[in-house]
């Protein structure tokens, strides 16, 4: 069943909810989900509304224009309109570790992720066989300090060719350059293997072991220029005990990583994530 999702962000003003719900009601929209949030500190208003397209009185390609003219302009809204067809297109970047990749591919296989995966890019060949077994093209693009910016250009080219909507870094062990990131603002999802902001950077499980924490975690976030500092989409944790070695922390942590990353992708796919400064609103 085809549905539309409207995402709205503007300064909080009286009458917004009334105007939007009136718009949908007037044009015979059957609302399925609607959420709002008012940020008291900043005075920002956020809204997400999902409704069925079948009975809607406005043609699919006219909704945006008409909403803009009759509602959005009056409230100086930033808004975006999304449909569940065609499916969004997601590229996956991996290195050697397979747990996040397999978790995503499993959901893709079972239909839990309504997404197209036109390609997987990796700086290693380690995961080529399983990716291709799922019928997905695998691009091996090794990275060295010398070829990095050149390879990134090629990667961006590939993303464009494949009309990729967003990128998932499924334990991709390379830091993307600002030049790459700026093309996909709030559209690159990374999984960091710590409970951010604790243990930013490399080897967080070693750092967690050394600090003697009793709980480890993982963080799914949008990538920004500052390392591991982008807006957090989802986090989760697992208990560890004194006798767990670093290797055991890694194994326990991987179970958290893969579930957190897949939840972040799920929220992103459902257009439930909105970014305000460095925070996220998650309508879940």
125 lies in the site for a copy of itself, by CB under 8 A: no
267 lies in the site for a copy of itself, by CB under 8 A: no
Kindly indicate which of the ranges 83-91, 116-124, 171-179, 240-248 contains the residues binding a copy of itself, using the contact rule CB under 8 A: 240-248
* 183, 228, 236, 255: the active-site residue: 228
141 lies in the site for a copy of itself, by CB under 8 A: no
Distance CA(87)–CA(94), nearest Å, equals 22
10 Å Cβ neighbour count for 212?
A: 8
Among the listed residues 11, 28, 73, 153, the single contact to a copy of itself using CB under 8 A: 28
Nearer to a copy of itself, 128 or 162 (CB): 128
Among the listed residues 59, 78, 178, 211, the single contact to a copy of itself using CB under 8 A: 211
Provide the minimum distance between the beta carbon of 145 and a copy of itself in the complex, in angstroms, as a whole number: 28
**Is 61 annotated as catalytic?**
no
Measured on CA atoms in the order 154, 157, 163, 164, is the torsion positive or negative? positive
Nearer to a copy of itself, 112 or 163 (CB): 112
Q: Which helix (H) or strand (E) is 153 found in, with range? A: helix 148-161
- Secondary structure (DSSP) of 61-130: GGHHHHHIIIIIHHHT-EEEEEESSSPPEEEEEE-S--HHHHHHHHHHHHT-S--EEEEEEESSSTTHHH
What is the radius of gyration, based on Cα positions, of the chain?
A: 21
Among the listed residues 9, 36, 64, 84, the single contact to a copy of itself using CB under 8 A: 36
38 lies in the site for a copy of itself, by CB under 8 A: yes
**Going by C-beta distance under 8 Å and a sequence separation of 6 or more, which residues neighbour residue 127?**
94, 96, 98, 101, 120, 138
By the 8 A CB rule, do 265 and 174 touch? no
Q: What is the binding site for a copy of itself (CB under 8 A)?
A: 14-15, 17-18, 21-22, 24-25, 28-38, 40, 97-99, 102-103, 105-107, 109-110, 112, 130, 133-134, 195-199, 210-215, 217, 231-237, 239, 241-243, 245, 251, 254-255, 259, 262, 278-282
List the catalytic residues: 228
């Amino acid at each position: 069943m085809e549905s539309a999702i409207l995402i709205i962000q503007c300064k909080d003003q009286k009458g917004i909810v009334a105007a939007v719900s009136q718009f949908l009601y007037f044009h015979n929209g059957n609302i399925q989900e609607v959420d709002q949030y008012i940020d008291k500190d900043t005075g920002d208003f956020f809204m997400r509304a999902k409704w069925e397209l079948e009975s809607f009185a406005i043609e699919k390609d006219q909704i945006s224009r008409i909403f803009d003219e009759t509602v959005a302009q009056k409230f100086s809204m930033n808004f975006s309109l999304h449909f569940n067809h065609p499916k969004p297109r997601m590229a996956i970047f991996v290195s050697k570790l397979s747990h996040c990749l397999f978790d995503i591919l499993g959901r893709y296989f079972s239909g839990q992720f309504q997404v197209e995966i036109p390609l997987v890019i990796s700086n290693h060949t380690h995961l080529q066989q399983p990716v291709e077994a799922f019928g997905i093209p695998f691009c091996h693009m090794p990275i060295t300090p010398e070829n990095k910016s050149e390879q990134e250009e090629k990667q961006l080219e590939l993303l464009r060719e494949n009309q990729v909507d967003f990128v998932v870094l499924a334990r991709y062990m390379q830091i993307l350059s600002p030049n790459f990131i700026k093309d996909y603002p709030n559209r690159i999802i990374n999984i960091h293997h710590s409970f951010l902001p604790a243990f930013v950077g490399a080897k967080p499980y070693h750092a967690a072991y050394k600090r003697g924490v009793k709980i480890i975690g993982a963080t799914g976030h949008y990538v920004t220029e500052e390392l591991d500092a982008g807006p957090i989409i989802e986090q989760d944790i697992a208990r560890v005990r004194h006798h767990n070695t670093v290797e055991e922390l890694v194994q326990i942590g991987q179970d958290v990583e893969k579930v957190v990353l897949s939840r972040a992708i799920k929220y992103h796919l459902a257009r439930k994530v909105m970014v305000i400064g460095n925070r996220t609103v998650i309508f879940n």
